[in-house]
C-alpha cells in the first residue's frame, strides 16, 4: 500500500495534480493554465490535446517535486470540468474538433427548437436536467452535424465521445479504457438517472450512435491503470467524479441534507438528497452525486456560470486590479456598493433563470462611482447569484438551510464569504482544506483500494478553518436583494430580438 493518493483536477482554466497523504493533507501540488478559445460570441472551446499535455505534465511535476516514486502512490483519482465535450477518432486518438466547453452557447437555438417540439418534460423526467445548451448531448450532436465526415465515422463506430474525465482516462490508459462514472454521465442529457443507464430514446432524439458512449462505472472503484509510461509503473485509476460532485464529497457532505457551494470559474451549489431523488419544482437540476460502489446517490444542483470569472474579468477585461486577490482590499475600501450592481451574464444566466440570451450589465453608475464600488459589486454578484439558488433549493427540499460549507479558490476571499453569510442569513463554514474538488476525487480513489477504511473516517477528517456569521440587518438585506433582482431583469433576454 502506498503512502499517498494522487488527484488529477482538470478544471476550466487549468490542469492540476495534487498529492494527499493519509490524513488528507496536501503534500504537493502542481498547476498549469491552458488556452481559452473564443471563436465567436457565445462560443467557448479548448484544445483537447493541450488539456491532456498540461495534465500529464503536472502529474510528473507533482510527483517529482514531492521526491517520491510511483510505488508510493496507492491510487489515482480523476475529477474534471463537467459537460465539456470531446469527440475523437478511436483508431488514431486524434480529436476531430476542439472540446466544446460547458459555457458554450452555440446550441441554444437547437434547444429552443426541442422545447417548441415539446421535448422538455421527456428530457427532464429521464435525466433530471433542464433542456439547455450547457450539457453535453447537444454539443455531441453539433460536432457530428458540423464537422466534415464526422457522422459517417460515427455510424461506422470509429468515433468516441467523452467528457474530460473520459478523455483523460482513455489517454492515461493508452486507449485501453473508455469509461466514465454516473456523476459525469448524468450531465450529458443522454443518461437515465432512474435506470442508471444510457437511454435509447434520448440517443434517438439527439441522433447519437450508442457506440460513441463510454462504459459507466462506479465513481469509487478501479477503472484501469495509469500506463507505466507516465510515472514508471502502473497505478490504479480508482476514483472518478465530476468536479462539483467531487467537491461535495471532499467537503464531507456525505449525509442527506448537507450542502456546499464551490466558488470557482462558476459557482455550483449542491445539496445531498441521498438515495432518493425527485425533480425540482424551482428550475434546479437533479443530478447523480456519486456511486461509491453501493448504488447511486443524488443531489439538487444550481449552477452560476460566472462566479470567480467575474474577478478575472475585473483583472483582464476592465484591468482595474492587477491580481485577483486585490478585490478584497479594494472592495473593503468603500462602506457599500454605492448603488452599483453587476450582473455578470457574460454567457447567459444559469439557475434558476436559464436564460442563454441574457448578457452582462452594470447598473446604478453615477459620477461618484469608483473602481472600488465596481470591485465590490463584482464580488457581491457572486453571493447574490448563489443566494437565488439557495432559495430555490430550500423550497424543493422543504427545509431552511442553516449552514453552508464552501470551497474553491474564491472561498479564500473573506469579504465574499462574509457577504455570502449576510445575504443568505446563514452560517458559512470554510474548511482548512479548500481544495475539496481534488480531495473528493482522492477520497473516492482511496476508499476503492482501502487506503481509507470508510466514509465515517473521511468525514472525521473534515476540519473547520473559519466560520462566518451573518451580521447584516434584515432591512438592508431586503433592500439589496430588491435592487439585485431589478438589475437581473435589465440583463435578461438581451439578445432575444
Is residue 120 domain-resident?
A: yes
Q: Which residue has the cell 445575504?
A: 423
The answer on whether 120 is annotated among ligand-binding residues is: no
Is residue 479 domain-resident?
A: no
Predicted local confidence at residue 174, as pLDDT: 96
Q: What angle do CA 312, 409, 373 make, to 5 degrees?
A: 45
Q: Provide CB contacts within 8 A for 437, sequence distance 6+.
A: 9, 11, 79, 243, 244, 246, 247, 250, 262, 264, 407, 408
Is residue 145 domain-resident?
A: yes
User: Coil, strand or helix: which one is 42?
Assistant: coil
The answer on whether 413 is annotated among ligand-binding residues is: yes
- In eight-state DSSP terms, residue 63 is H
The answer on whether 411 is annotated among ligand-binding residues is: no
The answer on whether 12 is annotated among ligand-binding residues is: yes
Tell me the C-alpha to C-alpha distance, in Å, between residue 136 and each of 9, 118, 131, 190, 324: 19, 20, 11, 8, 30
Q: Where are the alpha helices (DSSP H) in 359-468?
A: 371-397, 414-424, 436-448, 455-460
Q: Which residue has the cell 480508482?
A: 238
CATH number (domain holding residue 192): 3.30.420.40
User: Can you list the residues of the chain whose pLDDT is less than 70?
Assistant: 497
The answer on whether 265 is annotated among ligand-binding residues is: yes
Predicted local confidence at residue 397, as pLDDT: 82
Predicted local confidence at residue 90, as pLDDT: 93
Predicted local confidence at residue 497, as pLDDT: 59
The answer on whether 16 is annotated among ligand-binding residues is: yes
The answer on whether 386 is annotated among ligand-binding residues is: no
Is residue 36 domain-resident?
A: yes
User: Coil, strand or helix: which one is 388?
Assistant: helix
> How, if at all, do strands 464-468 and 235-242 pair?
unpaired
**Residue 137 near residue 189 (C-beta atoms within 8 A):** yes
Tell me the C-alpha to C-alpha distance, in Å, between residue 26 and each of 18, 19, 249, 463: 7, 6, 17, 14
Predicted local confidence at residue 483, as pLDDT: 96
The answer on whether 308 is annotated among ligand-binding residues is: yes
Question: In the beta sheet, which residues pair with residue 96?
Answer: none
The answer on whether 60 is annotated among ligand-binding residues is: no
Is residue 485 domain-resident?
A: no
Peptide bond into 352 cis (omega under 30): yes
Number of domains in the chain: 1
Query: Distance between CA 420 and CA 422 in Å, rounded?
Result: 5
The answer on whether 105 is annotated among ligand-binding residues is: no
Domain interval for residue 128 = 4-244
Question: In the beta sheet, which residues pair with residue 163?
Answer: 85
Is residue 313 domain-resident?
A: no
Query: Distance between CA 139 and CA 148 in Å, rounded?
Result: 15
The grid coordinates of residue 154 equal 460515427
**Residue 179 near residue 238 (C-beta atoms within 8 A):** no
The answer on whether 54 is annotated among ligand-binding residues is: no
Is residue 362 domain-resident?
A: no
Is residue 288 domain-resident?
A: no
The answer on whether 13 is annotated among ligand-binding residues is: yes
User: Coil, strand or helix: which one is 196?
Assistant: coil
- In eight-state DSSP terms, residue 73 is E
**Residue 7 near residue 441 (C-beta atoms within 8 A):** yes
* pTM as predicted: 0.86
The answer on whether 83 is annotated among ligand-binding residues is: yes
Query: Distance between CA 151 and CA 155 in Å, rounded?
Result: 6
The answer on whether 232 is annotated among ligand-binding residues is: no
Amino acid at each position: 500500500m502506498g503512502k499517498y493518493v494522487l488527484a488529477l483536477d482538470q478544471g476550466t482554466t487549468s490542469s492540476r495534480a495534487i498529492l494527499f497523504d493519509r490524513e488528507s493533507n496536501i503534500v504537493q501540488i502542481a498547476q498549469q493554465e491552458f488556452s481559452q478559445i473564443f471563436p465567436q460570441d457565445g462560443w467557448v472551446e479548448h484544445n483537447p490535446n493541450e488539456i491532456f499535455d498540461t495534465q500529464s505534465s503536472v502529474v510528473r511535476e507533482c510527483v517529482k517535486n514531492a521526491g517520491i516514486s510511483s510505488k508510493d502512490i496507492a491510487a489515482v483519482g480523476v475529477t474534471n470540468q463537467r459537460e465539456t465535450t470531446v469527440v475523437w477518432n478511436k483508431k488514431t486518438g486524434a480529436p476531430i474538433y476542439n472540446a466544446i466547453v460547458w459555457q458554450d452557447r452555440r446550441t441554444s437555438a437547437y434547444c429552443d427548437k426541442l422545447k417548441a417540439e415539446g421535448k422538455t418534460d421527456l428530457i427532464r423526467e429521464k435525466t433530471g436536467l433542464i433542456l439547455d445548451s450547457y450539457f453535453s448531448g447537444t454539443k455531441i450532436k453539433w460536432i457530428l452535424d458540423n464537422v466534415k465526415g464526422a457522422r459517417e465515422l460515427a455510424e461506422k463506430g470509429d468515433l468516441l465521445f467523452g467528457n474530460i474525465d473520459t478523455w483523460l482516462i482513455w489517454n492515461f490508459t493508452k486507449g485501453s479504457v473508455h469509461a466514465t462514472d454516473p456523476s459525469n454521465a448524468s450531465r450529458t442529457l443522454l443518461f437515465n438517472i432512474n435506470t442508471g443507464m444510457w437511454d435509447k430514446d434520448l440517443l434517438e432524439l439527439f441522433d447519437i450512435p450508442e457506440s460513441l458512449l463510454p462504459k459507466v462505472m462506479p465513481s469509487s472503484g478501479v477503472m484501469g491503470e495509469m500506463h507505466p509510461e507516465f510515472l514508471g509503473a502502473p497505478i490504479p485509476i480508482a476514483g472518478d467524479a465530476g468536479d462539483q460532485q467531487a467537491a461535495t464529497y471532499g467537503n464531507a457532505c456525505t449525509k442527506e441534507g448537507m450542502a456546499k457551494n464551490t466558488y470557482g470559474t462558476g459557482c455550483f451549489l449542491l445539496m445531498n438528497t441521498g438515495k432518493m431523488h425527485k425533480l425540482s419544482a424551482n428550475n434546479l437540476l437533479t443530478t447523480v452525486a456519486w456511486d461509491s460502489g453501493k448504488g447511486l446517490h443524488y443531489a439538487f444542483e444550481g449552477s452560476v456560470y460566472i462566479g470567480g470569472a467575474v474577478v478575472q474579468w475585473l483583472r483582464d477585461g476592465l484591468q482595474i486590479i492587477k491580481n485577483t486577490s486585490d478585490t478584497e482590499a479594494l472592495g473593503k475600501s468603500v462602506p457599500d456598493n454605492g448603488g452599483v450592481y453587476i450582473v455578470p451574464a457574460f454567457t447567459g444566466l444559469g439557475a434558476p433563470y436559464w436564460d442563454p440570451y441574457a448578457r452582462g450589465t452594470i447598473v446604478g453608475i453615477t459620477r461618484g462611482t469608483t473602481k472600488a464600488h465596481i470591485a465590490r459589486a463584482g464580488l457581491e454578484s457572486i453571493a447574490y447569484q448563489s443566494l437565488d439558488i439557495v432559495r430555490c433549493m430550500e423550497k424543493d427540499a422543504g427545509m431552511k438551510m442553516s449552514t453552508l460549507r464552501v470551497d474553491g479558490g474564491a472561498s479564500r476571499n473573506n469579504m465574499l464569504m462574509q457577504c455570502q453569510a449576510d445575504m443568505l442569513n446563514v452560517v458559512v463554514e470554510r474548511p482548512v482544506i479548500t481544495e475539496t474538488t481534488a480531495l473528493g476525487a482522492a477520497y473516492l480513489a482511496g476508499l476503492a483500494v482501502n487506503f481509507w477504511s470508510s466514509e465515517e473516517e473521511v468525514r472525521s477528517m473534515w476540519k473547520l478553518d473559519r466560520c462566518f456569521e451573518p451580521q447584516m440587518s434584515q432591512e438592508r438585506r431586503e433592500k439589496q436583494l430588491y435592487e439585485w433582482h431589478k438589475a437581473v431583469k435589465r440583463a435578461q433576454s438581451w439578445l432575444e430580438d
